[in-house]
Structure 1
Amino acid sequence: MTPLWIAIALLLLPALWLLIAPMRGARVLRDQLDHFEANDTSAEQNVAIFQRRMASLEAARERGDIDDARFNEDRLELERSLLEDTATQAKRPLKAASAGRLVVPLVMVAVVGASTFWYQQNGAEGDLTLYAIQEEIRNDPEGSLMMFLERMEAEAERQPNNPNVWSSLFPLYRDTGQPDKAVDALERLIAIEGRIPPLLAQLAQLRFFMAERELTPEVQALVDETLELDPRQPTVLGLLGIHAFDNGDYETAVDRWRRAVANISDPETAASLRDGIRVAQERMGVAPEPSAAAQGQGVRVSVSLDEALADRVSDDATVFITARDIDGELPPLA
């Protein structure tokens, strides 16, 4: 974690510099303002302008261009204008260059504290800890699966709301023969992430094998909930295929496993399901289909040309076939 905090500190340095930089130039800026105010002649210029306009006004009255009433009116307007200009030029005394220096450290502390608090609430500090544990166990010559499990259990107490803790503990418990703890870890993960099909499917599969491959009411409820959310969920379809196979319903087993293979992404699991399909077909006395023995996924289709188009298309024309999702929601499959 030390490199992380060093990186955070380096990122905070520019922000802190932006807070300090204005204070470094405060003295120079105040001296410049003092010099400007000391040499400001705008008031004298306003008075000179007032005097020239008054002289012009008096000359106009002497020439008879304006009467006394107009003269007094214009003079009052000039005096009012001079007073307004003088009022707007009144300046407050400048503060000392050191004013506000105590506020800067407080703001700096607030910035650092707020940044640290925000990262602890919204950052991935917990996930970095998990990664560090994995690397430590992997690089330890005496590291073992049980050692990793103990460290992850300790992290589960420190980070009970971190889904990555429980998603790591679940397979560890499952692979070390602790199904009850695996169920608890998976249920904790579901409580955090929500009842999404992949997690519900794994829970149904785990409880299915714990019940010695029987569809108990609890398992059936999980299967129904999963299929309602995702009718093509491969884990649940594979589970249903196993149950059908165990009960001698090989046709149903083949159907469920074929649907699972069509939606599964793991090549090894898909290969295992294809092996199961071949065994089920042999027990039915049916020769395995070429598509079942093939390594890749695929479908067989029969294509014919409409009679109305037969005369328009040459014998060597190319025909393009597009496979689409029946609901029209997904991209073309092929």
Structure 2
Amino acid sequence: MNLLWLGIALLLLPALWLVILPLRRTRPLHDAQQAFETKQRTDAQNVAVYRQRLASLETAHARGELDTARVEEGRLELERSLLEDTQVRRRTPLNPPQAGRLLVPLVMVALVVASLLWYQREGAEGDLALYAVHQEVRNSPDGSLAMLIERLEEQAKRQPDNPKVWMSLFPLYRDSNRGRDAIAALERLIELEGRQPSLLAQLAQIQFFVANRSLTDEVQALVDETLGQDPRQPTVLGMLGIHAFDRARYEEAIDYWRRAIAGFDDPGSAEALREGIAVAQQRLDASSDQVDAHQAAQDGASLAVRVGLAESLRERAAPGDTVFVIARDVAGELPPLAVERVTVSDLPLKVTLGDNNAMTPRARLSQVNEVRLTARVSASDEATPQPGDLVGEAGPVTLGESDSPVEISIDRIVD
């Protein structure tokens, strides 16, 4: 740090020299101007002009061109003009060379103070201290990650409002498996820098791993906020791919990772995602073979469902409103396994759900042993539940456990 202040002092010396330079030139400039004005013969020139004009008047009088009165009048006019020119050309005396000397040291002090105050506000003294810390640890024989973290934590106490301190700390905490400390450092960085998508994405990723690779409500909120600002944010897309892969949703993981690769500038990260895509594709192919074998073993899997509408809600449903009867896997990890669509006028109604009601070949009723059933009345004909829809649920129901239809009563209003 002493080198910093020495450098500032060296930079100020030329500035101070320029401030006092006019003062050093005052005496020679004053003497030169004084000599110039002393040597000037302006008054003598005016007298010479006066005499020439007066001689012209007298010559004209001798020739008879002017009478005596006109000559006297001309002489008076020339004398008056000579006096006026002499008065106008009188100069005020020069100021002494010492005038204004006290202002120079005041300007010098103001220059030094203003420079120091500006540097404290706009300078990079804190960043220089961070650089010194990194150099110290790097050159130390005992230098280690723990030592670097300790030194940076000291800087965080000294300059808590410097975002570069927290930008240096949080990846070190993360790599040291200090997830909570990494989260705290990153949250502080976000307070200082604003809720930028890249920072929010890293915060979501750290919280995701701290929560054992789970999408908690807090992580999901960060994911939604990040993708709302940048739908192609690669860190978040990569994390969502990991979450889908862990839950055997390999198609979804592949889709997330492909989109993430397009946003990564780091070739290493892109290559890692490509390797993940290859593994997911292998597992997808293997699971597809298992699904086909399971389907062959349980060919003809079906479930009978009887759907009715509670009397208390009949006035809230029109005869033409759509009724969706949906079967889902118990874990909720797959798309709907079977969907049947009828109208309120058909109720009460018995339907049989099977593989022919599947929305996709990779999500069928015959893939699972248990399902949850939902019957929903939608006036808007939307597949996604809307406030005001009427709904009823049943399950979990084990397939093949009973030949009797599963009863579903639509008896609740979606909030």
Q: Normalised by the size of structure 1, how large is the TM-score?
A: 0.77
- The alpha-carbon distance between structure 1 residues 79 and 168, as it changes in their structure 2 partners (threshold 3 A), is farther
**What is the deviation of 1:84?**
4.7
Residue equivalent to 2:285: 285
Per-residue deviation, 1:129: 1.1
- CA distance in structure 2 between the partners assigned to 1:174 and 1:23 by the alignment: 61
Query: Could you tell me how far 1:252 is from its partner in structure 2?
Result: 0.5
**How many angstroms apart in 1 are the aligned matches of 2:196 and 2:68?**
94
**Deviation sequence 1:237-270 (CA, Å, 0-9, x none):** 0011011112221100001011112221223222
CA distance in 1, matches of 2:232, 2:92: 77
Write the letter of the residue equivalent to 1:166: W
Measured in 1, the distance between the counterparts of 2:83 and 2:49 equals 13
1:211 and 1:79 map into 2 onto residues whose CA distance is 108
Structure 1 residues 284-331: Cα deviation after superposition (integer angstroms, max 9, x where no partner): 1179xxxxxxxxxxxxxxxxxxxxxxxxxxxxxxxxxxxxxxxxxxxx
Post-superposition offset of 1:22:
2.4
Partner residue in 1 for 2:194: 194
Residue 76 of structure 1: how far off its partner (Å): 6.9
Where does residue 248 of structure 2 map in the other structure?
Answer: 248
Amino acid corresponding to residue 277 of structure 2 in structure 1: I
Cross-structure match for 2:27: 27
**Counterpart code for 1:224:** D
* Change over 3 Å in CA distance of 1:213–1:92 after alignment to 2: same
**Percent identity of paired positions between Structure 1 and Structure 2:** 61
Task: Report how far residue 189 of structure 1 moved.
Answer: 1.3
Inter-partner Cα distance in structure 2 for 1:248 and 1:239? 14
Q: Shift of the alpha carbon at 1:24?
A: 2.3
Normalized against structure 2, the TM-score is what?
Answer: 0.63
Give the superposition deviation at 1:119.
Answer: 1.7
Alpha-carbon distance in structure 2 between the residues aligned to 1:101 and 1:31: 17
**What per-residue deviation string (whole Å, max 9, x for no partner) do you get for residues 54-86 of structure 1?**
443454456555678977886676556545533
Q: Which amino acid aligns with 1:161?
A: D
Letter in 2 for 1:265: D
Greater alpha carbon shift after TM alignment, 92-101 vs 61-70: 61-70
Distance 1:73 1:18, change over 3 A: farther
Matches within 5 A, 1:301-320: none
Distance 1:69 1:197 in 2: 102
User: Residues 224 and 71 from structure 1, CA distance in 2 versus in 1: closer, same or farther, beyond 3 angstroms?
Assistant: farther
CA distance in 2, matches of 1:40, 1:230: 80
Distance in 1 between residues matched to 2:70 and 2:126, nearest whole Å? 84
* Paired letter, 2:140: D
Q: Which residue of 2 aligns with 1:205?
A: 205
For 1:6-54, what per-residue CA distance to the aligned partner results, in whole angstroms no more than 9, with x for missing partners?
3332322222222222222322222222222322211221232233224
CA distance in 2 between partners of 1:255 and 1:120 (Å): 50
Aligned: 1:136 with 2:159: no
Q: What is the rounded CA distance, in whole Å, between the counterparts of 1:240 and 1:122 in structure 2?
A: 40
What is the root-mean-square deviation in Å for CA atoms of aligned residues?
Answer: 2.6
Gap change, CA 1:217 and 1:87, over 3 Å in 2: farther
How many Å separate the matches in 2 of 1:256 and 1:171? Answer: 24
Q: Partner of 2:90 in structure 1?
A: 90
Gaps of 5+ in 2: 288-415
Cα distance in structure 2, aligned partners of 1:134 and 1:206: 24
Amino acid in the other structure paired with 2:90: A
| Matching residue of 2:341 | none
Instruction: Please identify, of 272-281 and 251-260, the stretch whose mean Cα deviation from structure 2 is larger.
Output: 272-281
Aligned partner of 2:46 in structure 1 is 46
Question: Aligned equivalents of 1:148 and 1:70: distance in 2?
Answer: 106
1:4 counterpart = 2:4: yes
Note closer, same or farther for the CA distance 1:81–1:216 as it changes in structure 2 (3 Å cut).
farther
1:174 aligned residue: 174
Alpha-carbon displacement from aligned partner over 1:191-210 (angstroms, at most 9, x marks no partner)? 22222111111011111112
Tell me by how many angstroms 1:127 deviates: 0.8
2:163 alignment partner AA: P
Higher relative contact order (CA 8 A, sep 6+): 2
Q: Residues 204 and 89 from structure 1, CA distance in 2 versus in 1: closer, same or farther, beyond 3 angstroms?
A: same
Give the 3 Å change call, closer, same or farther, for CA 237–50 of structure 1 in structure 2. Answer: same
More strand by share: 2
The equivalent of 1:149 in structure 2 is 149
